[in-house]
Amino acid sequence: MAQQPFDAIVIGEGICGLTAANALARAGCRTATLEAQLFGGLVLNVNELDPAPDERAVSGAEFATELMQANAELGVASIQEAASAVHDREGLRVVATASGRYPARHVVVASGARLRKLNVPGENEFEGRGVSSCADCDGPLYQDEEVAVVGGGDSALQEALVLAKYCRKIHLIHRGERFRAQEQFVERVSAHPRISVAWNTTVEAIGGNKTVERVRIRRASAGAEELACAGVFAYVGLAPNSEFLPPAITRDAGGFVITQDTLETAVPGIWAVGAVRSGYSGLLTDAMDEARRAARVIAMQLGRA
Ligand SMILES: Cc1cc2nc3c(=O)[nH]c(=O)nc-3n(C[C@H](O)[C@H](O)[C@H](O)COP(=O)(O)OP(=O)(O)OC[C@H]3O[C@@H](n4cnc5c(N)ncnc54)[C@H](O)[C@@H]3O)c2cc1C
């Protein structure tokens, strides 16, 4: 392992990882970030962050780009590779990828989460032909059409409101009897003339010919029925990107990483912040707070703060 170790490697260039790297670099730590896909994470395609991270009207892509630029100016190394494992070796943490091994004194896991699938017939078949998870990118394709949005949390309501700018009607399908979302979204959705909520209802199948034409839903009270729609957008929760971590890093039943109050995991020197962490609130502002808190403690341990 000839390579000079980094003070810290941050896994994930979502908003949380970029913020952690920024705070570490500002504290004088030699820092690298690793990214499996494109920087920006879950908010990359969100045109209007709400709530916005610092009360500015800004898109996810703009905000992430600003952070990437700031990090580059601070000398953060951005490595475009997926972390496939994290090992302990000779008192250091080593992040492995398909093509390399990167040693570091500390590792910050900010690998976030991905949208869960509905796991119903037709979902994979119609991916990109009516099944989507990006209201901002695909909304304009459904001008004056009817679409279904599935879910009852912040993302489902926020994205239903985005789609309502374009679509004739949104069927918001929720398996529960109340939303688990910020009051402002609940109020706006409830008052919107083109959003109709199907409570206590699940999606059983997605059907169509070349593209989506209908969903089969099941209402708890009335059994199954078909709903005509040209698009299906599902926001039914998140699955953590934590599979590559060693078993010694404890996780909750959903696979989210458990940390102490300090944000350190069960393995000393490995920290977890943001959407990959068990107990994370779901708000970018909180992810950024976590990132800065972890960075502060790491910098202190390295004698930089
Ligand atoms: C549709 C939608 C809209 C939202 N809108 C808002 C909003 O307006 N305001 C708000 O506050 N919150 C919003 N959220 C919530 C917000 O997206 C998350 O809270 C936030 O993205 C968490 O940031 P993160 O950096 O922890 O994780 P992520 O955004 O998930 O970023 C993690 C990054 O790590 C990378 N990665 C994963 N595994 C690896 C690996 N093995 N190696 C290297 N890199 C890896 C991923 O590719 C990704 O880039 C929204 C969420 C959704 C789904």
* Model pLDDT for residues 12-68, shown as the tens digit of each residue: 999 999 999 999 999 999 999 999 999 999 999 999 998 888 888 899 999 999 999
- Give residue ranges with CB within 6 A of ligand 1: 11-17, 34-37, 41-43, 46, 49-51, 82-83, 110-113, 115, 155, 158-159, 241, 244, 274-275, 282-284, 287
**Rounded mean pLDDT, 282-303:** 97
Q: Domain end: 218, 234, 250, which one?
A: 234
| The total number of structural domains that make up the chain | 2
**Rounded mean pLDDT, 161-189:** 97
Q: Residue 1: pLDDT above 90?
A: no
Q: Are strands 146-150 and 231-234 parallel, antiparallel or unpaired?
A: parallel
**Does a structural domain hold residue 1?**
no
At how many degrees (to 10) do helices 60-73 and 15-26 cross? 20
| pTM, entire model | 0.95
The pLDDT value recorded for residue 2 is: 56
190: confidence class by pLDDT, cuts 50, 70, 90: very high
- My answer on whether 74 and 102 are in the same domain is yes
Closest ligand 1 atom, residue 275 Cα: 26
- My answer on whether 74 and 21 are in the same domain is yes
Q: Residue 174: pLDDT above 90?
A: yes
Q: Residue 298: pLDDT above 60?
A: yes
Q: Domain end: 234, 261, 289, which one?
A: 234
Q: How far apart are CA 251 and CA 64, in angstroms?
A: 28
Q: Tokens representing 109?
A: 């896991």
Q: What is the CATH number of the domain that holds 67?
A: 3.50.50.60
- My answer on whether 253 and 173 are in the same domain is no
**Rounded mean pLDDT, 68-94:** 96
Cα angle: 19, vertex 77, 93; to 5 degrees: 85
Q: Are 163 and 190 in contact (CB under 8 A)?
A: no
Q: How far apart are CA 123 and CA 130, in angstroms?
A: 9
- My answer on whether 121 and 110 are in the same domain is no
* Host domain of residue 139: 117-234
**Does a structural domain hold residue 172?**
yes
Of 43, 78, 184, the residue with max ligand 1 atoms within 8 A of its CB, to mutate for a pocket test, comes to 43
Q: Are strands 92-96 and 223-228 parallel, antiparallel or unpaired?
A: unpaired
